[in-house]
């Protein structure tokens, strides 16, 4: 669990320090895409529950280690609570994305055996053989809850990278963008940012864990908003 917290820290740091991001907008008129295959296994393995500026991190190495333990224990408690209401964030996202793309006029299927590393785009795509025009590849860097710091409320957060590649030639990227829902870091120009829903604000850890169904509903709402935004990029 400690490694997972360090990984979350690294992701936030990379987001803050990465080189300027340039999105690739989608041109439906020239892309000639009618059928889309969604690459599955998009989600992070567990939800996060992280304080961005916690007090323990201000007290040297020992403080940082204690803080990492506290963060890990909180994350574990949140995921146990989500398990108690059988919440599957990845399934929520992929189902909503499929529904919205279908509503946009595409024929949509899901690739169910992509077997890719988490938080990474697929390295090589299946040979389409005329079965699909494009692959929708999504990497959900994290989903869950973020707090600005000690004694600050927790709000849902999702960070996703979305990419559409040509099935005939996967080196051709038809669309590429990043969507940040309550990322709590300064986003690069071109990144789509979404504000958190005020209906899902939890004042502290105790309130967060007291109602697992509402906690799950907040993440579900955030994931659906990100999925809706990703689908809108292909209108």
SS3 15: helix
CA distance 37 to 101: 10
Per-position pLDDT tens, the chain of length 235: 444 444 444 444 444 444 567 899 999 999 999 999 999 887 878 999 999 865 445 545 555 554 678 889 999 999 999 999 999 999 999 999 999 999 999 999 998 776 677 678 988 898 888 899 999 999 999 999 999 988 899 999 999 999 999 999 999 999 999 999 998 776 677 899 999 999 999 999 999 999 999 999 999 999 999 999 999 999 9
SS3 55: coil
DSSP string, 89-154: HHHHHHHHHHHHHHHTT-EEEEE------TTS--SSPPP-TTS-SEEEEEEEEEEEEEEEETT--E
Range of the domain at 58: 2-14+23-232
Residue closest to 46 by CA, chosen among 16, 97, 10, 7: 7
DSSP string, 172-233: SEEEEEEEEES--SPPPTT-EEEPPPGGG-BSSHHHHHH-HHHHHHHHHHHHHHHHHHHHHT
pLDDT at 119: 72
pLDDT at 4: 45
pLDDT at 64: 54
55 to 11, 64, 66: CA distances (angstroms): 20, 9, 10
At CA 193, angle to CA 189 and CA 194, rounded to 5?
170
Counting the structural domains of the chain, the total is 1
Contact 50, 144 (CB under 8 A): yes
Instruction: Report the predicted TM-score, pTM, of the whole model to 2 decimal places.
Output: 0.86
At CA 78, angle to CA 186 and CA 93, rounded to 5?
65
CA distance 225 to 20: 24
Contact 176, 163 (CB under 8 A): yes
Contact 184, 52 (CB under 8 A): yes
């Amino acid at each position: 669990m400690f490694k997972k917290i360090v990984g979350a820290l690294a992701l936030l740091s990379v987001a803050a320090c990465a080189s300027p991001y340039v999105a690739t907008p989608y041109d439906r008129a020239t892309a000639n895409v009618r059928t889309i295959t969604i690459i599955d296994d998009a989600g992070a393995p567990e939800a996060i529950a992280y304080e961005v500026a916690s007090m323990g991190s201000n007290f040297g190495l020992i403080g940082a280690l204690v803080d990492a333990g506290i963060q890990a224990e909180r994350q574990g408690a949140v995921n146990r609570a989500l398990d108690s209401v059988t919440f599957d964030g990845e399934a929520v996202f992929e189902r909503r994305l499929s529904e919205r793309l279908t509503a946009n006029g595409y024929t949509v299927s899901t690739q169910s055996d992509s077997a890719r590393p988490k938080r990474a785009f697929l390295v090589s795509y299946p040979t389409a053989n005329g079965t699909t025009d494009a692959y929708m590849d999504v990497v959900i860097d994290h989903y869950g809850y973020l707090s600005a710091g000690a004694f600050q409320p927790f709000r849902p957060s999702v960070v996703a990278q979305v990419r559409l590649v040509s099935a005939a030639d996967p080196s051709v990227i038809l669309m590429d963008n990043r969507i940040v829902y309550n990322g709590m870091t300064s986003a690069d120009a071109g990144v789509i940012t979404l504000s958190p829903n005020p209906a899902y604000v939890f004042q502290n850890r105790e309130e967060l864990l007291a109602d697992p169904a509402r906690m799950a509903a907040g993440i579900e709402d955030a994931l659906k908003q990100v999925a809706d935004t990703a689908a809108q990029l292909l209108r």
